[in-house]
Amino acid sequence: METWTWNSGCKKSNGEGAVIAEEIARACKPFTEGEFIKNCIEEVCDVVCPDKKQAFANISLSRNTVASWVDELASDLQIHLKTKAKEFVLYLFATDESTDRTDNAQLSIFIRGVDAQFSVTEELFEFKSDSRDNYWTGHFPTSGAVHQPNGIAVE
């Protein structure tokens, strides 16, 4: 069985599950939803096309499989952002500091960049979460220093 990656394109053996995993990620649903969706698909298949039931039963939508596909998708998006960021002629950062329900500090850093063709890109640049009270102390570099979160040089 061939290994499927987002870069290599869909393989017939499990590309269907990857499409569903991508939709789960887009909707910000828990990865365990894949198993629920698979059960629903199989129930509908019993009514609509019982002769195709085995094909749908072979789709893997376990929590671990969905997590693996979403992880691969996130890696591809990070590579794409790094490539686009190298073309920025101007960029700025916006931050949002908050806490989760267990009182852990969270910092979301967003980047907005403009390239030479005035194409604007806005993306989540980095997300940090920590339970230490002094987490943000020293997180950002002093003026003139170079910081390289996610492999993108920030001066």
Sorted by where each begins, the domain ranges of the chain are 15-80, 86-151
| C-alpha distances out from residue 94 to 21, 52, 77, 108, 109, Å | 29, 49, 19, 8, 6
Q: Is pLDDT above 50 for 2? A: no
Nearest to 37 by CA among 22, 50, 49: 22
pLDDT in tens, 5-48: 444 443 444 577 888 888 888 887 887 888 888 888 889 988 89
pLDDT at residue 139 in the model: 54
Q: What are the tokens at 155?
A: 């001066």
